[in-house]
Amino acid sequence: MSHRLGRVNVVEAVDLRRTYKTTTGAIRRKSHEIEAVRGVSFAIREGELFGLLGPNGAGKTTTIKMLITLLIPTSGSARVLGRDVVKDARWVRERIGYVFGGERGLYERLSALDNLRYFAELYAVDPRRQRARIDELLDLVGLKGREQERVEGYSRGMRQRLHIARGLLHDPPVLFLDEPTIGVDPVGARELRATIASLTAAGKTVLLTTHYMFEADSLCDRIAVIANGEIVAQGTPTELKAGVADGSVVEVEVFGVEERIVERVRELAGVRAVTVEDREQKQLLIVQTAPGFELTHAILSQLDADSVGRVSSREPTLEDAYVALVTAA
């Protein structure tokens, strides 16, 4: 993928920090400061699709909001296309597009066409080109023929596609996509991913946040993993996988596992990370192990034999690399 990447840094974040003030209590109000982003630095090259991965509350959206001029950083700086996002906010706004995941962010009582017409004016799209551009985008996102309907009747997937069309109206060279496929059905999500891939093929620089590892793996040139407001790793998907590739992963189906047992497994020598995924009536205990350790027996000895189902071992994936990085943070 790197053949299309330029040498210029299109997005640069240098030691970005952002704190929020919050209050608790109705009568005796106490003010607290929450550090949402704690010194984030990265650079995205021209034409690159850069992924920002992290759990909920890690600071992904706050970071994006600083880059798209919606939040002023508490300290640090950020530049888009060489211009400061605070000092030259308007200049930056003209050249970026952004798409937030979720159902909101659209004028519900208006049609998709009216939503796009409104933003076409706000983004100063040439009036002579507006209708053609809107038609082009409705075609691209598959909403042609439904544009006269009010947004309040749209499905989640249709709303998400409308968000993408809106973000592309002014043909910006840089795009910020914050979990654009969240909540979209698998077929819709696949179509959206194809659209995102076509954006970088058209020379656009994209910053994408997502929870889905396979999405990041298949789309991103490079990934930064963010946890607790800090970047804990950065590299290509292959480089990140290499961080845990030398170990292995043991998966054990369990029927009810207590937290104290998970803790005991976590404390075993050679264990890198432990996660528990709910699978209807059962859970899947996923244990990442360091190279040279065969821990299947040690893990099973911690569990009640009657509550154990299928046991398997496999190679680590990007998701395992992500889990190891986030749990270590």
Identity at 156, one-letter amino acid code: R
Residue 238: how many other CB atoms lie within 10 Å: 10
Nearer CB in complex with other proteins: 102/173: 102
Q: According to the binding rule CB under 8 A, does residue 328 interact with other proteins?
A: no
Q: According to the binding rule CB under 8 A, does residue 121 interact with other proteins?
A: yes
Query: What's the half-sphere exposure (Cβ side, CA atoms, 13 Å) at 204?
Result: 24
Q: Distance of CA 212 to CAs 206, 274, 323, Å?
A: 16, 19, 12
- Per CB under 8 A, the segment of 62-70, 221-229, 295-303, 305-313 that binds other proteins is 62-70
Nearer CB in complex with other proteins: 157/237: 157
Helices (H), 68-185: 89-95, 112-122, 127-140, 156-168
Helices (H), 202-251: 213-219, 237-245
For the bound state, the minimum distance from the C-beta of residue 71 to other proteins, rounded and expressed in Å, comes to 6
Of these, 3, 23, 27, 127, which contacts other proteins (CB under 8 A)? 127
Nearer CB in complex with other proteins: 72/132: 72
Of these, 29, 30, 104, 128, which contacts other proteins (CB under 8 A)? 104
Instruction: Give the DSSP H/E element, type plus range, for residue 217.
Output: helix 213-219
Q: According to the binding rule CB under 8 A, does residue 255 interact with other proteins?
A: no
Of 69, 97, 62, which Cα lies nearest the Cα of 83?
A: 69
Per-residue tokens: 297: 């027996």
Q: According to the binding rule CB under 8 A, does residue 38 interact with other proteins?
A: no
Q: According to the binding rule CB under 8 A, does residue 154 interact with other proteins?
A: no
Q: According to the binding rule CB under 8 A, does residue 71 interact with other proteins?
A: yes
Of these, 50, 53, 64, 69, which contacts other proteins (CB under 8 A)? 69
Instruction: Spell out the residues 6+ positions from residue 131 whose beta carbon is closer than 8 angstroms to its own.
Output: none
Chain residues binding other proteins by CB under 8 A are: 20-21, 65, 68-72, 90, 93-94, 98, 100, 102, 104-110, 114, 117-119, 121-124, 127, 150, 166
